[in-house]
Amino acid sequence: MAHLKSLVKDTAIYGLSSIIGRFLNYLLVPIYTAKISAASGGYGVITNVYAYVALLLVVLTYGMETAFFRFSNKEGEDPERVYSTTLMMVGCTSLLFVGLVFALISPISSFMGYADHPDYVWVMALTVAMDAFQCIPFAYLRYRKRPVKFAALKMLFIFLNIGLNLFFFVVCPRFTGTATDVGYAFYINLACTGIVMLCFYKELTGFRYVWDKALMKRMLAYSWPILVLGIAGILNQTADKILFPYIYQGSDAHAQLGIYGAASKIAMIMAMITQAFRFAYEPFVFGNAREKDSREMYGKAMKYFIVFTLLAFLCVVGYMDILRHIIGRDYWEGLQVVPIVMAAEIMMGVYFNLSFWYKLIDKTIWGAWFSGAGCMVLIVINIVFVPRYGYIACAWAGFAGYATAMLLSYAVGQKKYPISYPVKEIMVYVAIAALFFYAMTVANRLLPTYASLAVNTLLVALFAGYVLKKDFPLSQLPVIGKRFRK
């Protein structure tokens, strides 16, 4: 139980930087969607470029975060030697990537559809290279149990990013009278990433750099399947945004992509919760793998993750009439994708939790197969249905892709590394959430705004009340529980 309390504490701190940071970062969405019209396609450009960035970040880290945690916790391995070798590996590949981009900037820009704006490409290449390198010192902070500095650096980036975007997209146009170029968003990101890099001075100095070739080979043997599954996994999130301009049959591809990308941002609360849980869960799993009750803890952690993500799902759907104001009015037509994208994100989180069975037995190749299968489902659905149905097909493709990977991982995992997940209890929560979602959808469609909000608030309260009664009885809580035990 003490280990679970530690997981909750670390999740809360990592979640503070992740959830609050992402929430503050949402300020960029109303800024961009207010200053960049949907018809112009400018926000579609931002959505498209950042999709490439997300994919490249996975490629340039090539599973070294997970490999670092695995080898740092292995008996007989020197954690500092592991850290040094990992830093040098990721640093060298990031520098090589930047060199290749600058050498081939013209053909790369033309292929991506930005022949007139090669600066979009090289600026983001520099940014993603630094981001990839920073993943290792960020992982080191997590390994050293320093969530406060981790959170502080994440928040520093967010505040700098928001402040500079407000200045260039809101303040400057008022004085100059001209619209700000979309490319400013990429330059701002580069500047903020560079500043955060300077803050890692202590984590990058004060020790002897060692390149251990034998260790490098072992880490690469462990991590290459993670790279494959990472690519497949990120393609489940970004393939639609990368492929859309190529397969959509219309002259307004970037405009439609911008609507889809803006609406999907509302659903990203699931990504916040999943990311916060992941930051704490990865070192938690590897650090407690030798405990006798570890499998029981993994089962409970899965249940609590699903319960709270379902509660978040209902909150977003229930207060959609309020949350939709995050984006500009001309992007509202895309709100139909929000529940689909959120459900897909929940399954992605479940899949992430399930993935530890093959990481713990050093059989990461299974993850490559699962993620690859999910990715293939997603790509096929996009190619077949996007030309006819547009971005709504993108949302359903993501749902189907994550469902495929999740179900495959569970089925095989129960044979290779059985964990007693409380499936029946979880399915009861899923059934209740599905029923409440249907009721909220009807209320949002048929009732006035104030009435639907009242109904939805009641439903959220009922779900939360059931959770408290079933799994978190108030009588067991500290301080407040004393009153309920009387």
| pLDDT given at position 480 | 41
Residues with Cβ within 8 Å of residue 467, at least 6 apart in sequence: 307, 311, 429
* Regions in the chain scoring below 70 on pLDDT: 1-26, 177-179, 269, 273-294, 364, 472-486
Name the DSSP letter for residue 74: S
pLDDT digits (tens, 9 = 90+) for 89-135: 999 999 999 999 999 999 999 988 888 889 999 999 999 999 999 99
User: What is the rounded CA–CA span in Å between residue 215 and residue 90?
Assistant: 14
What pLDDT, on the 0 to 100 scale, is given for residue 174? 80
Distance of alpha carbon 298 from alpha carbon 140, whole angstroms = 23
Listing DSSP states for 29-45 in one string gives HHHHHHHS-GGGTHHHH
Rounded CA-CA distance 91/96 in Å is 9
Tokens for 55, please give them.
Answer: 């994919």
User: What is the spatial distance between Cα 406 and Cα 390, in angstroms, rounded to a whole number?
Assistant: 26
What is the value of pTM for the model shown? 0.77
Q: Is the dihedral of CA 231, 235, 238, 241 positive or negative?
A: positive
Three-class SS of residue 291? coil
Measure the CA–CA gap between 31 and 209, rounded to whole angstroms: 43
Considering only CA atoms, which of 349, 310, 323 is closest in space to residue 263? 323
Distance CA 411, CA 415 (A): 7
- For residue range 416-450, list pLDDT tens digits in order: 888 888 889 999 999 999 999 999 999 988 889 88
CA distances from 15 to 152, 221, 273, 467, 479 (A): 12, 32, 7, 21, 24
